[in-house]
Structure 1
Amino acid sequence: MKRLLSFLVVFSLLAFAGYKAGVWWLADQRLAEVRTELSRLGVLERGQISSALDGRLLLKEASWLDFRLTQPLTMGLVELDAHSPIDLVTGLANPGAATGDWTLVIERASMILEPTMFRNWVTEDVDESTAGNPLIALSCAPDPRQHLGSGDLKRMGIDSISGDFKLTQSRDGLAVELHTSAVGSLELNWPGARLNVSRTGIDLTGLEQTAEATLRDGGLMRRISAYCSRETALTVNEWSVTAAKALARGLEARGYQASGQLVALYRQWLTEGGELQFNANFGSDTFGVPVRTQERPQAAWQVTYNGAQVPDVYLTRMQPKAPEVAPEAYEPVTHPETSSHAQWFEEPVENADAWQGQTVRVTLSNGKSVEGRLVSVGERELEVARMIAGGEVAYPMLIRAVARFEVWRRGRAN
């Protein structure tokens, strides 16, 4: 009996050590493959690997740095729960064979914000003239071309974005939860969707299935509307009208016209925020917003705002319109220095430090001109950030090469 007990103890210890070592080795191999596959896009640091007997794999202090960004995404804890040790080992040994339920949890994920989040070379091959009208264009500067960026979030007191993420794959479908401390939360219930992971990549099936989404802003939209309206010298109502017109232009450029209720809901969300619950279809051109036709005259989007159903939210088809840009967006009408109208005013480049955070236009001695937000001024260089491809990209320039320095501002009263 004593020998049997000793054998069981030794066997249990060996099995425990073998399981721990096997999971660590398999996880290290799979993560090395992932790191190699992603090496052309960024750097993945796996952190410390550990496991639990209930079928959980844990990574502590992992991080991901996209080469296009200036800051990494840090993750305090990444937990993969396969719900059993056998399923965990099977999934790590052959990811394509994993067909059961699993849960991925990321805790204490965080990214520090900088005035310029994209590196200089990211969009050097992008032709801005071919870019279509954006659907969401939130102007946050006197220059209507200057949209909301990470620099604005920092000036609003948001120095980083942090939160927790949870992805659950079950036989019924996918469930996603994202909760942040500063920019709200998103919950997604996607019946019929399946995330298939293999050594060759990730394949998502069930795109044609309708997902149920819940979006909460956590007070962010009120802060944005107050900040942007102040920066553009408009009332909150006037600013929301401008943003709604940008949405309408973006839809028209794509061949759709928004209903009055859709535009009104967008304006309400921009100024008040709150909770939106809606159906989304990621496999459709309109992401689930129905298009009314003669065959479907009553089609409407199932959307609730703060618990109340919003009627008559839909799109209608129309001939796409060419992008229309107000002439003043290119070159404002000149007004005298005493006018309250905003325009370009030339300033000595020696005083550039006084205009940090403002919209400027810098003309170099070679004739090249750069417009954007002045983010830094040093002894030899100054940096101007431009909104390109959804983010701010900084352009450093030698001060001695600056031939003309202009600031977009209002005139000063005598």
Structure 2
Amino acid sequence: MKKLLLSLVCLLLLAYIGFKGAAWYQVHSLLEQAHDALEKQGVLKWGRIGSSLSGHISVYDLEYQPFLLNQPLRATRVTFSADAVPELMDALGGGPLPGHWTLRAENLHLQLASPLIRDWAGPGNAAINAGLINIPCGTGALGLSTLMSMGVSQVAGDLRIEQDNMLDDTGGLKIDLQAGKLGSAEIRLPGLRLDRTLDEDGNLPGYSGPVDVELRDGGFMRRLAAYCARAVDVGPEDWAEQATRVFSEQLQVTGYQPSDQLRALYKVWLRDGGELKATLAAGEPLLGLPERNRPAGDGAVDPTLGSFDVFYNGARVPDLFVRYLQRPQAQPAVLPQSGRSDNEAATDGPAFRPADPRQAARWPDRRVRVTLKSGRVVDGRLSNVTDKRLEVTRTVDGGEVAYPLARSAITLFEVWRRTGDVGIEPAPETEAASPLQAAMPTTTDDAGTEPHDSEQHQP
């Protein structure tokens, strides 16, 4: 009997050691594969690997350093859990993911620094140049330096991703991020089932369907509104109104006008924060936000007006939509010399005169007027030029807001100048810096520049 018990104990011990060794080997192999796949984008490091007979596998001290960022993304522990050990081992061995699994990242954090994005990556990075929401704060726009001035030294929190069995409407993929004083976000994709982490081409699987989003700011928006309002010596109400006006102008540049309720919701969220719930539509234009006044021959008309459900602090917010702004007919390419009127053409004084947008680097910090395909007109200071975009900065209630404009969307580019003014010679292409960072020559009377605080043309 004792020999039988001893044999059983030895067998269980060998099975346990075999499980621990196999789990370590499988996870280490997966980490090595991830390291090789990410070697062109960054460096992946990790510490020890642990496992449990309850169906858990953990990686400690995980660190990923993207080449685009100055700071690494770290996690104290990342744990993958399944309902049973056989399902866990099958998934680690390259088989399908189990019907129910959970991925947890504990103490996920990124230290903030200014600048966070490396200088060589910044000018051409689409994530920097793109973006509709540009919130004014102080004399510029809300950015990392603003958060650091408010005492936010890092973005930290706990991440949980859970795949349900999808036996009913409550199934699907859930993503829960708890970021402490910065608030929390919960995202649910009820129609998504991940059988494998990547598809045959090595990409994440696509998804088109409803996306339930729930945001809680944890009081952060009130702090932000108070800080940005104090920076320009106004109250939070006036600052929120100013930021909403900027949001509306930026949306109009893209060819849409927000409804009054959409403007009001944006303003209240900036000023007070709170709980915001919405059901978005992945893969749809504007994430399912209804469009109105769209002509029948200019794209599809949204057949589900009024189905965009948003709840603010538990109360449904109706009438959230955008109005489609009619695009005007294309203007003839041949214009008067001044580009605007015969009276301006009759004089050699400073006026808005057409220029080649490909030569925009000749006009750093000069007042320009840009007409887009949507019919919108943006008037301001040319603050930056890249291969794909022009950046026009406007003064708004004591602060400045930059508008990134795609070159492909520009139909007319004008500069406030005299007839013979040809700007400056752009810096050589071998220069690493942007042409707008080149030294400015001394301005003469022939330059015809106008002060930047002159009257602006509203888009």
**Matching residue within 298, 311, 314 for 2:318:** 311
Give the equivalent residue in structure 2 for 1:89.
89
Partner of 1:391: none
Q: Any idea what SS the aligned residue of 1:114 has?
A: coil
- Report what 1:102 is aligned to: 101
Q: Post-superposition shift, 1:402?
A: 11
Partner of 1:185: 184
Q: How does 1:346-365 map to 2 (within 5 A)?
A: none
3-state DSSP class of the match of 2:132?
coil
How far off is 1:5 after superposition?
1.3
Is residue 82–residue 98 contact of structure 2 (8 Å, CA) maintained in 1? no
Question: Residues 127 and 258 from structure 1, CA distance in 2 versus in 1: closer, same or farther, beyond 3 angstroms?
Answer: closer
Report the CA distance between 1:313 and its aligned residue: 1.1
RMSD: 3.5
Superposition map of 1:324-343 within 5 A: 324-327=377-380
* Runs of at least 5 residues in structure 2 that lack an aligned partner in the other structure: 167-171, 294-300, 328-373, 384-391, 401-424, 428-432, 443-452, 454-459
Using the TM superposition, give the Cα deviation of residue 236 of structure 1 relative to its aligned residue in structure 2, in angstroms. Answer: 2.4
Equivalent residue for 2:158, pick from 156, 160, 164: 164
Change (3 A) 1:268 1:125: closer
Aligned-residue offset at 1:298: 4.9
Aligned to 2:330: none
> Residue 141 of structure 2 corresponds to which residue in structure 1?
147
Higher relative contact order (CA 8 A, sep 6+): 1
Q: For 2:133, which of 133, 136, 145 is the aligned residue? A: 136
Deviation at 1:201, TM superposition (A): 2.8
Task: Report the CA distance between 1:161 and its aligned residue.
Answer: 1.3
Provide the C-alpha distance between the structure 1 equivalents of 2:177 and 2:83, rounded to a whole number of angstroms.
Answer: 21
- Cα deviation for residue 156 of structure 1 reads 0.4
Q: Deviations over 1:247-293 (max 9, x none)?
A: 22333333332111011100000011000011011211211222346
Q: Give the AA of the match of 1:327.
A: G
Unaligned runs of at least 5 residues, structure 1? 334-339, 344-365, 369-383, 387-394, 405-409
Pair 1:85–1:323, CA change in 2 (3 A) = farther
Residue 56 of structure 2 corresponds to which residue in structure 1? 56
Q: Which amino acid aligns with 2:309?
A: Q
Residue 296 and residue 282 in structure 1: after superposition, are their counterparts in 2 closer, same or farther (change >3 A)?
Answer: closer
Q: 1:295 to 1:219 in 2, by over 3 A?
A: closer
Matches within 5 A, 1:14-413: 14-95=14-95, 97-125=96-124, 134-142=131-139, 146-172=140-166, 173-195=172-194, 196-198=196-198, 201-205=202-206, 207-292=207-292, 296=303, 298-319=305-326, 321-322=374-375, 324-327=377-380
Change (3 A) 1:55 1:332: closer
- Amino acid corresponding to residue 141 of structure 2 in structure 1: H
- Classify 1:90/1:283 alpha carbon distance in 2 versus 1 (closer, same or farther; 3 Å): same
Per-residue CA deviations over 1:135-170 (Å, capped at 9, x if unaligned) read 21111232xxx3111111010011111110000012
Change (3 A) 1:200 1:10: farther
Shift of 1:224: 1.4
Contact 2:174 2:189 in 1 (8 A): yes
Structure 1 residues 281 and 342, CA, compared in 2 at 3 Å: closer, same or farther? closer
Distance 1:332 1:171 in 2: 50
Change (3 A) 1:82 1:302: same
Shift of 1:94: 1.0
Identical-pair percentage: 31
**Residues 137 and 399 in structure 2, CA contact (< 8 A), matched pair in contact too:** no
Give me the TM-score of the superposition, normalised by structure 1. 0.74
d(CA) in 2 for partners of 1:127, 1:98: 33
Q: Sort the Cα spacing of 1:286 and 1:332 in 2 relative to 1 into closer, same or farther, 3 A.
A: closer
Shift of 1:200: 5.2
Structure 1 residues 204 and 268, CA gap change in structure 2 (3 angstroms): same
Contact kept? 2:280, 2:308, Cα under 8 Å: no
Deviations 1:39-66 (A, max 9, x none): 1111111221110101111011111111
In the TM superposition, what whole-angstrom CA distance separates every residue of 1:62-105 from its partner, at most 9, and x where no partner exists? 1111111111111011010022111111111114x224221000
More strand as a share of residues: 1
The 3 A distance-change label for structure 1 pair 315 and 63 is: same
**Preserved contact between residue 59 and residue 79 of structure 1 (Cα < 8 Å):** yes
- Cα 1:22–1:119 shift into 2, 3 Å: same
What per-residue deviation string (whole Å, max 9, x for no partner) do you get for residues 215-259 of structure 1? 011111112112222223443233222322232233333333211
Q: Distance in 2 between matches of 1:39 and 1:127?
A: 21
How many pairs are equivalent?
345
Amino acid at match of 1:316: R
Structure 1 residues 188 and 267, CA gap change in structure 2 (3 angstroms):
same
- Kept in 2, the 8 Å contact 1:136–1:243? The answer is no
Contact preservation (8 Å) 2:65, 2:71: yes
**Contact 1:158 1:182 survives alignment (8 Å):** no
- Asked if the contact 1:48–1:62 (Cα under 8 Å) also holds between the matched residues in 2, the reply is no
Q: Give the superposition deviation at 1:209.
A: 1.7
| Structure 2: distance between partners of 1:63 and 1:21 | 23
CA–CA separation in structure 2 for the residues paired with 1:295 and 1:281: 12
